[in-house]
Chains A and B, each alone.
Chain A
Amino acid sequence: MRKLVVYNTLGFPNPSDFTAFIDGVRKAGADVLEVGLPPRYAKYDGPVIRRSHEIVAKFGDLSGNLGEVARRAEIPVVILTYLEDHIDHLDQFLDSLKKLNVEGVLFPDLLIDFTQQIDLVVSKVRAHGLKNVLFTSPSVPDSFIKRTGEITDMFLYYGVRPTTGVPIPVDVGALIRRVRNMVRSELVVGFGLSGDKDIVSALRAGADGIAVGTAVISELEKEGVTEGLKLVSYYRGVIDGV
């Protein structure tokens, strides 16, 4: 079965609605919950997700809430956070995630900004009992795409647009076919993927799953939790229909 990975920013749109969202996300059809920690610099995030970071900042430090996320979601939880914010105290950070029963961790800046440290970081993640979700993008050369396909633990996350939620015209099918031929790992495609057409082309081109974020955040912000979860169910339907 194809995977549906659902992103939400920790504590969005507010701590209690966030809890309600994770309570319902499995039933709505998600296979993996990706939780974003607001970074100092959201390098690869578009306006919608950046705004979600600002909104949750109002609620102060929410890291305490992470404890119940894995328990309540009942599906694997992957933490999305920029390595830049943790590189100086990486062991401590990974240790704290492990204690919270988090399954995996995704650093979108690992390949680009920490090219020399990829192997080191990947082995640290494993040493702390966590799984790596490697993030790759179209501007990554073939040699690195092959390597990431070999070292990722849960699946390879392929962000097809330069930033989340901005519908830059790209040929999703062509981008995925290039990577599909190089990796054997499970391939989950995201970043600015939201329209049904994108999702269908992604799956037809060989993606094993899709990740949605911006569209869900928008719905949560405008319509609330019930509608947010309905959108997740809708995506489940689109994926299963292909």
Chain B
Amino acid sequence: MKRGSIRFKMGWNYRGIGASFAPMELDPREIVPQFWYNIIPDLPRPLPPPRDPPSAEFSRIDLLRDIMPEEVLRQQFTVERFVKIPEEVRERYINIGRPTPLLRAKKLEEKLGTPAKIYFKYEGATPTGSHKINAAIPQAYYAHNEGVPAVTTETGAGQWGTAVALSASMFGLRSSVFMVKVSYQQKPMRKTIMNLYGADVYPSPTELTEAGKRALARDPNHPGSLGVAMSEAVEYALKQRLKYLVGSVLDVVLLYQSVVGLETAQQLELIGEEPDVLIGCVGGGSNFGGFAFPFLGHGSKAKLIAVGPSEVPKFSSGKYEYDFPDEAGLLPMIKMLTLGRDYVPPPIYAGGLRYHGVAPSLSLLMQEGKVNWREYGEDEIFVAAKLFSEAQGIVPAPESAHAVKAVIDEAKSAQRNSERKTIVFNLSGHGLLDLSNYESMMKRFGG
């Protein structure tokens, strides 16, 4: 969009006595894109496709047809650079407050004394508190269109489960969520909000599935992991003949999340900024890919930095190979950076980052050196989160705090080198339902 095409609109709102005059605002339709962006046609080399393992007793690719909404599967495998966002989905995006704001972290800049400008896309400004809703709405919409009565999924920190619970209720679907047990225990309020939206929530591993039973047999105190919870949800979908909604990792999820980056690009253009550095955290890769890939696709020269926890060292120690996205190996194998599907991540507080793999397209770009990475420990993350909260008032989700830490490091290096660069990052969620985690971190790492 050209700068000249910004439309200012005056909102008139008659309320009995007189008119209330809304501030001049930008029409959301100018910012929320009409198409999602798919990076695959623009990758530097061919993306290895999903595969069935060598001597498979059944085809996992075939099994996708039973568990995923048909249109979602079609979009996963029909590779087009731009995919039209259905008008009803776009309307929902606008209804939940999209475009989310692009804000300048001026007080953080001042606190750091950096010459760099820091902007962040605030995905915490959605009703469920993170970017996850962007991928949940279209999947629930397609499931509903196909006459599916109920959906199921897994959740780590609870963000994805909450997004699915709300999206399902938007379209009148029942939903059930397998929540990683440590998070379930640490975050009772996440369960409450999911219940409020109408979802059933189970602490995983459960006795409801074979995958859950196997995990419990190995360790009766199994803390749970995203891989196990994912296996449970997939198995449950198969047995109960429900549809499974995918929260991350698969290319189609990164496609849906591109709404984040496309809006950001538009918003930056409106204020006349070009990013020099783009930063996001990585669990499965959906908020990072959704945020950064549209820039890459436009030929942006910005440096891309993906951030993960050093406790789950998939960037530094993962292997780039075919592996299962889920612990039980019910899903097709995908080529990705992985710590191994049976890897049980330590119970750090960024539950959404406790995952063994990285989305195939992001893995490939990291292999090709197009995306840089950083890994930080929980103690460093806590300090960064606290600094950001004090400076900007927004408590970041512990996952997003990983991005914040990298931003601070980049801003400090800009200061050392007196560089006036523009750093833009994705604040993928707020941490207001993670306060018990922060409480624990405060005790361990000092207030």
Residues of chain A touching chain B, judged by Cβ–Cβ distance below 8 Å, are: 40-41, 43-44, 46-47, 50, 111-113, 115, 137-144, 161-163, 166-171, 174-175, 178
Contact = CB atoms under 8 A, between A and B. Distances in A.
B172 interface: no
26 contacts: A46-B61, A46-B62, A47-B56, A112-B46, A115-B45, A138-B40, A138-B78, A139-B40, A139-B46, A139-B48, A139-B79, A140-B46, A141-B40, A141-B42, A141-B45, A141-B46, A141-B47, A144-B45, A163-B52, A166-B65, A168-B62, A168-B65, A169-B70, A169-B73, A174-B80, A178-B41
Nearest to B79: A138
Contacts of A144: 45-46
A47 B62 contact: yes
A46 B59 contact: yes
A119 B40 CA distance: 22
Given A161-B77, A175-B79, A166 B62 contact: yes
Contacts of A161: 77
B54 interface: yes
Given A138-B79, A141-B41, A144-B45, A166 B74 contact: no
B50 interface: yes
Interface string B50-83: 1110101011011011000011011001111100
Contacts of B51: 43-44, 162-163
Contacts of A139: 40, 46-49, 79
Contacts of B216: none
Given A142-B41, A162-B50, A47 B59 contact: yes
Nearest to A40: B54
A139 B45 CA distance: 9
A47 B53 CA distance: 11
Contacts of A170: 74, 77-78
A169 B45 CA distance: 25
Given A141-B42, A163-B59, A168 B73 contact: yes
B296 to A, nearest CB: 12
A169 B74 contact: yes
Q: Which 6 A-B pairs have the closest CB atoms?
A: A138-B79, A139-B47, A140-B46, A169-B74, A171-B78, A141-B43
Interface residues of B, number: 31
Determine the main DSSP class of A at the interface with B: loop
Nearest to B69: A169
Contacts of A171: 74, 78
A137 B49 contact: yes
Contacts of B446: none
A173 B46 CA distance: 21
Interface of B: 40-52, 54, 56, 58-59, 61-62, 64-65, 70-71, 73-74, 77-81, 332
B67 to A, nearest CB: 13
A161 B64 CA distance: 13
A141 to B, nearest CB: 5
B80 A178 contact: yes
A111 B46 contact: yes
A44 B50 CA distance: 9
Nearest to B335: A112
B60 to A, nearest CB: 10
Contacts of B50: 162
A34 to B, nearest CB: 20
Contacts of A140: 46-47
Nearest to A166: B62
Nearest to A178: B80
Contact of B77 (A50, A111, A113, A162): A162
A41 B54 contact: yes
Contacts of A169: 65, 70-71, 73-74, 77
Q: Could you say which of B47, B74, B77 has the most chain A C-beta atoms within 10 Å of its C-beta?
A: B77
B285 to A, nearest CB: 16
B77 A168 contact: yes
B78 A162 contact: no
A162 B49 contact: yes
B65 A141 contact: no
A43 B333 CA distance: 11
Given A141-B41, A141-B43, A169-B74, A112 B48 contact: yes
Contacts of B45: 115, 141, 144
Contacts of B58: 47
Contacts of A112: 46, 48-49
A117 to B, nearest CB: 12
A200 to B, nearest CB: 17
Contacts of A137: 46, 49
Contacts of B43: 141
B14 to A, nearest CB: 46
Contacts of B78: 138, 170-171, 174-175
Nearest to B59: A47
A163 B73 CA distance: 14
Contacts of B70: 169
Q: Could you say which of B43, B49, B71 has the most chain A C-beta atoms within 10 Å of its C-beta?
A: B49
B43 to A, nearest CB: 5
Contacts of A167: 65
A50 B59 CA distance: 10
B189 to A, nearest CB: 39
A178 B83 CA distance: 13
Contacts of B77: 138, 161-162, 168-170
Nearest to A111: B46
A170 B59 CA distance: 17
Contacts of A175: 78-80
A141 B65 CA distance: 25
